[in-house]
Amino acid sequence: MLPAVTIEDVARLGLPPARATLEPGTGNVVLNVPVNVFADTGPVVRETELLGFPVTIRATPVSFTWSFGDGAVLGPTADPGAPWPAMTTTHTYTTPGTYEVALTTTWTATASVAGLPPEPVPGTVDVATAAGTLTARAGTTVLTR
């Protein structure tokens, strides 16, 4: 009998944290001006062995949740965001301060045991990324070329 792969097995193999980008990338943002955030990640394949059988696990990021350090949360959303000028995932700070931004990526997985067709693995795995620190200040912005 072939072994069943669990979501705990997938978590033990380790999934990479998404690379989180904050724009502007200076660490300083202006109050009441949107900050662009986006995640860079894609499917991951892991090869392992379970009870003597070869197993191929394919994990796919399915949602992203941003925590902006000021109590605001964006997500979960299937949209990883995009670099400027797309700005599909943003947050606007309204109070001066220094904030820790974090990203949680939620993954699903399939597993192929002994070369058989892949089967969904029930459940999800969350992987946290410390995205960075932003300092929000009052000021004015100037668009330059």
pLDDT of residue 95: 96
pLDDT of residue 1: 76
Q: Is 49 exposed, middle or buried (0-12, 13-18, 19+ CB in 10 A)?
A: exposed
If phi > 0 it is left, if psi is from -120 to 50 it is alpha, else beta; for residue 54 that is beta
| Segments of the chain with pLDDT less than 50 | none
pLDDT tens by residue, 89-122: 999 999 999 999 999 999 999 999 999 999 999 9
Q: Is 33 exposed, middle or buried (0-12, 13-18, 19+ CB in 10 A)?
A: middle
pLDDT of residue 141: 65
